[in-house]
Amino acid sequence: MMQSQSRPSAPRSRATATSAKFPALRRGGRPSRTEAEQLSERILDAATALFFTAGYGATTIEAVAKRARISKRTLYHRFDDKAALFSAVVHRTVTRLRPPADVPLLDGAGVQEILQRLAGLILGAALSAPAIALHRLIVAESTRFPGLAAVAAEQSGTEEAIRLIAGVLEREVRAGRLAVDAPRFAAQQFLHMVISGPQRRAMGLGKPMTPAELDAWAADVVNLFLNGCRGWVPAKP
């Protein structure tokens, strides 16, 4: 008797491949915590891709739901509206740009080394692809949607960076090594000095800087900043 030949396995359909990548929720009952987290990430992945490529105005809840392969009802169950979804996208983007918790921020033999380390971390985050995409979005759509800039500013971590730098300066003032009477203002200016030039070039207003150029930029900014602080003339009351 001839043995029957087994049929070659059929290629997996797109739907099968998709379900392998995105496991279906359990039938009946509430989804598990893991399933809920996976679904939220899936929604945010879809929303991030659409916001960063199509823009805020052109992105619709329908488009996000379709890309995430869910119903609008499911999306609205997790996010009240497009503004809430955008805020969640910004929050996740910024959170991922933060240095890991085990990275020492204030390690260094002196203020120059500490500030140069902070400048490198700040540049690494500000010039990353997600940060540049978010900045482009805010610049392009802020006239039509002025609230976007407020959301980005609230979530950006800029205030946290200013407080950290101001704290470093205040310590130097207490030690008598600097005479800065407005550490917060000085910290704000330091942040602008570090970011503005390289960020503009990364967005196409000039040639993007190489890693070596960014290292030199950070060192020069810190040197200029500290020399300015050492020559600081306190404001008259």
Q: What is the mean pLDDT of residues 98-103?
A: 77
Q: Answer whether 98's CB lies under 8 Å from 108's CB.
A: no
pLDDT at 31: 65
Confidence of residue 233 (pLDDT cuts 50, 70, 90): confident
pLDDT one-digit tens code per residue, 209-224: 999 999 999 999 999 9
pLDDT one-digit tens code per residue, 152-203: 877 777 888 999 999 999 999 999 888 898 999 999 999 999 999 999 999 9
> Nearest CA to 106 among 191, 178, 166?
166
Q: Answer whether 56's CB lies under 8 Å from 147's CB.
A: no
Residues 51 and 141 in one domain: no
Residues 148 and 219 in one domain: yes
Instruction: Examine residue 46 and state whether it is found in any structural domain, yes or no.
Output: yes
Instruction: Examine residue 148 and state whether it is found in any structural domain, yes or no.
Output: yes
Inter-CA distances, 190 with 120, 152, 193, 228, Å? 13, 20, 5, 11
Instruction: Examine residue 8 and state whether it is found in any structural domain, yes or no.
Output: no
Distance of CA 30 to the CA centre of its chain: 32
pLDDT at 156: 73
Kindly give the interhelix angle for 183-202 and 129-141, rounded to the nearest 10 degrees.
90
Q: Which domain holds residue 164?
A: 111-230
Instruction: Examine residue 65 and state whether it is found in any structural domain, yes or no.
Output: yes
Tell me which H or E stretch contains 41.
helix 33-54
Residues 135 and 76 in one domain: no
Q: Any idea what the CATH number is for the domain that residue 84 is in? A: 1.10.357.10
Residues 213 and 138 in one domain: yes
pTM assigned to the model? 0.76
Instruction: Examine residue 20 and state whether it is found in any structural domain, yes or no.
Output: no
Instruction: Examine residue 14 and state whether it is found in any structural domain, yes or no.
Output: no
Residues 145 and 73 in one domain: no
Between 148 and 50, name the one with better pLDDT.
50
Kindly give the interhelix angle for 129-141 and 33-54, rounded to the nearest 10 degrees.
60
Q: What is the mean pLDDT of residues 75-85?
A: 93
Confidence of residue 229 (pLDDT cuts 50, 70, 90): confident
Residues 69 and 168 in one domain: no
Residues 78 and 122 in one domain: no
Confidence of residue 20 (pLDDT cuts 50, 70, 90): very low
Q: What is the mean pLDDT of residues 113-138?
A: 93
pLDDT at 99: 81
Kindly give the interhelix angle for 129-141 and 147-155, rounded to the nearest 10 degrees.
150
For residue 45, give both structure tokens: 């992945």
